[in-house]
Structure 1
Amino acid sequence: MRHARASLIVGVAGWYPLGRVPSVEVMTETMLMPVVPLPARSATHRVVLDSAYAFSAFVLALPAFVVVVAGLAAGTGTLVVAGVGLLVLVATGYAARGFAHVERIRLRSMAGVAAPYPSYLRAAPGDGRVRALLTPLRDVQTWLDWLWCLVALLTAAFASAVTVAWWAASLGGLTYWFWERFIPRGPDGTSLAQLIGLGSSRSADILLQTTIGVLALLTLPVAVRFAAATHAAVSRVLLCSRGELVGRMVRMEESRESAHRAEARSLRRLERDIHDGPQQRLIRLGMDLGRARRQLADDPDQAATTIDAALTQTLETVEELRALSRGIAPPLLVDRGLAVAVREMASGQAIPVHVVAEAEPLPPQAETAAYFVVAEALTNIAKHSQASRADVALRVDDGRLVVTVDDDGRGGAQVAAGRGLDGLRERLAGVDGTLEVASPDGGPTRVRAEVPLG
């Protein structure tokens, strides 16, 4: 069912047939490889990279255009010949993929932008030979690769021309004083300075060309940045935007699945705790009250003792229900916010808990997730850590709510499958949050969670 929903999502995003795409895990690993923008570069390094990217764009775009145009023309022209035209089109599709792959590498390494690799459609195990062979022609990304090979020649020519022109103006103007003497001049030779009225002297000509070179050098970073950005924008839209969209939808599906698993696990745990605790106590309370009713007539003193025991059972049941309610968002969290709810929770712990919290309005889903982090962490401390104190900190940092819970216990806490911390990680994944646990043997232990506020 999970893979079917993922297939449906990808089908909506890219017109894939249902059941013909990889699973969520495969797509997450193969399509969205870790991609990060280039780190901050010096101004000189940035100019060099932009210039290299813009200048080499035409070197890649020209053969890509020629190969794809020739392949499409030959393929469509030979469609009437059984099988030949389709084979040519399939080969052209793979060639376009190769050019697109090189461009994505250039985007990442030279243009300094994120360029995720898309997950191309693969033949399903049950496909016949012909259908499997024609798989590239059924892939939307292949058609986008073709379109890029056709369109990119225009932006590449523009980017390369601008880059060459600005570098030529800069270097030529700044060195004109040296090579000007080697220019052959006839009796009617007219310099640029003379044409615009600055005189016919050699010094006027050198001064004008040097001024042009200085202006070109000053504007070179802007010019090559604009040229590179123009070509990179077209490449990124056609070669990467669909992969980013599908990846975002896959991550949303994963987050929703994680939230559902976390809620189901919490519900089962709550049902088990209620069955094993308060329910058994309430059954015993009913039995004690029934026995006290029968004892009232014959042995009032024994009846009073039974009623006292029933009152004790009532108080213990209330305390146990109060402890279980910490696993459910309390009304105090809704009414007065996260900081007040966490402080109230900390005040009921068996060990001293110091809370540092920023009392500011937060999104409800972030507050609920953070509350569960603190509740689960304090529960584990009380059950397993043998700690003498704990510290809770809630702060907002760069659009994320950061929750840390520290204790001085014996350590050894792990995020094991089926345990409380694993359920907490699933719950955080449902809101795109993260969980980190540092708990070496001997302590101390730190549980750190980040929850996005956006």
Structure 2
Amino acid sequence: MRSALKRSAAATGELAGALRTALPALLGLVPLAVLLVLMPVVLPWLPSAVRPLRALANAERRRAGRLLGREIPAPYRPLSGAGPAAAGRLLRSRAVWRDAAWMAVHGLTGLQAAVLAIGLWPAIPFALSLPLWWWAAPEGSQSAIIALDSWPKALTMPFVQGALDLAALLWLVPRLVRWQARLAAALLGPTRRTSLSERVEELTETRAEALEAHGAELRRIERDLHDGTQAQLVAAALRLGLADRRFGSDPAAARALFLEARDGIEEALTQLRTVIRGIYPPILSDRGLAGALRALAAGQPIPVEMDVEDGRAPAAVEAAAYFVVAEALTNVARHSGARHGRVTVRREPARLTIRVRDDGKGGADPERGSGLAGIRRRVAALDGTTRIDSPDGEGTTLEVDLPCGS
């Protein structure tokens, strides 16, 4: 009984807390009705009118998600533009109408549920005390829908009413809380169709970014080969041709040209190895991801602590992870002003998680530089996710999840 009362007390607190969204929802029904009636007139201002509704729905999502133990994602696309075009997109959005439906249901039922739950607590001792003073109550007073006009009724009906109130408190109130949370999840969460549509849109964007990144990588390789390796080989070929012509008349000059050609070929090989490392670092094949990352950290200008689990992943995943850490550490060394860095890599059956942390000045913005944006594109190409947390003065944390087979 004590645990049941504790659950009911906690449920009552949740229903009372729901008034923070139920009362605004109830008060918003009038403006909502006016908005629907005057839709042709207020159409240009619809995007501005939707913002407070979304803020209220987001507050309820957080509350319901906490009760259900899972996040309820918001099925919104960013509000962009203004005027009739933006309003038309909102009118075609199912999320807007589902928010309005939740507002009506929650506004009408949330206040009633809270009043019921709060009122049951004093109702029980009130009913149990009726036998002590029923005779002084006004004529026609009732308990459990029965008039108290005799001692037998006064000694039985109040206890029936108290038992009914207690049953409602212990059984109904906790279920009202769960009903509210499930209502929010059903109306405010993304539908299967919305989730599929967002997934298709996300995949379209990531594939477009992957193609863009692939094209940029091909152009970089072509530029490096054309401006570096090819130029060096052409120069070496010219020197060899000149040396061949001078070999009979001026062997010393021919030998000097041969030596210059040899140096040019060696430099071309060095540049070619650099290009190859840019495609797939050979060290990954030789030492694995853990060894490659430790070698990468050893060459940094600041101390970098490594916490990398051994084990292999698919080659494409290891290459992406290597380049992510390389670009992240380059950003740390060049822009963060950090004194220390830390790289953590965890291999799970279905994913590879990378975390790069520094103690620098923070304030990193993917929109202002190509490094972080390049990391995001590279990760998105493998259907991974990138999170950046960089508050001013508190360092930067980059977290990357890459899916991979077991």
Q: Normalising by structure 1, report the TM-score.
A: 0.56
Residue in 1 that maps onto 2:174: 222
Residue in 2 that maps onto 1:48: 16
Residue in 2 that maps onto 1:107: 57
- Cα distance in 1 for partners of 2:271, 2:174 equals 68
- Cα distance in 2 for partners of 1:134, 1:426 equals 29
- Cα distance in 1 for partners of 2:20, 2:301 equals 65
Q: Deviations over 1:221-258 (max 9, x none)?
A: 522322322442454259x9998877766665654555
Q: 1:418 to 1:181 in 2, by over 3 A?
A: closer
Q: Deviations over 1:37-78 (max 9, x none)?
A: xxxxx8775342236656x49845875897689x4xxxxxxx
- Cα distance in 1 for partners of 2:332, 2:77 equals 44
- Cα distance in 2 for partners of 1:134, 1:345 equals 49
Tell me, what secondary structure is at the counterpart of 2:278? coil
Q: 1:139 aligns with which of 91, 105, 121?
A: 91
Residue in 2 that maps onto 1:401: 353
Taking the TM superposition and a 5 Å limit, the aligned residue runs for 1:331-410 are 333=284, 338-343=289-294, 355-360=306-311, 362=313, 366-376=317-327, 393-396=343-346, 401-404=353-356
One-letter amino acid of the counterpart of residue 342, structure 1: L
Q: 2:241 aligns with which of 264, 284, 290?
A: 290
- Cα distance in 2 for partners of 1:186, 1:353 equals 82
Residue 325, structure 1, aligned to residue 276, structure 2: yes
- Cα distance in 1 for partners of 2:387, 2:85 equals 42
Residue 232, structure 1, aligned to residue 232, structure 2: no
Structure 1 residue 265: deviation in Å? 4.0
Q: 1:433 aligns with which of 386, 389, 396?
A: 386
Asked whether the 8 Å contact 2:127–2:159 carries over to 1, the reply is no
Tell me, what secondary structure is at the counterpart of 2:398? strand
Asked whether the 8 Å contact 1:262–1:426 carries over to 2, the reply is yes
Tell me, what secondary structure is at the counterpart of 1:172? helix
- Cα distance in 2 for partners of 1:96, 1:295 equals 84
Q: Where does the alignment leave 5 or more consecutive residues of structure 1 unmatched?
A: 1-41, 72-87, 125-131, 441-445
Structure 1 residue 359: deviation in Å? 2.7
Q: Normalising by structure 2, report the TM-score.
A: 0.61
Asked whether the 8 Å contact 2:388–2:398 carries over to 1, the reply is yes
Residue in 2 that maps onto 1:32: none
Asked whether the 8 Å contact 1:68–1:92 carries over to 2, the reply is yes
- Cα distance in 1 for partners of 2:54, 2:104 equals 16
Asked whether the 8 Å contact 2:75–2:95 carries over to 1, the reply is no
Structure 1 residue 318: deviation in Å? 2.0
Tell me, what secondary structure is at the counterpart of 2:346? strand
Residue 314, structure 1, aligned to residue 282, structure 2: no
- Cα distance in 2 for partners of 1:164, 1:59 equals 14
- Cα distance in 2 for partners of 1:314, 1:97 equals 64
Give the aligned length.
Answer: 372
What is the root-mean-square deviation in Å for CA atoms of aligned residues? Answer: 5.8
Residue in 1 that maps onto 2:398: 449
Moved more, 42-51 or 57-66: 57-66
- Cα distance in 2 for partners of 1:268, 1:133 equals 39
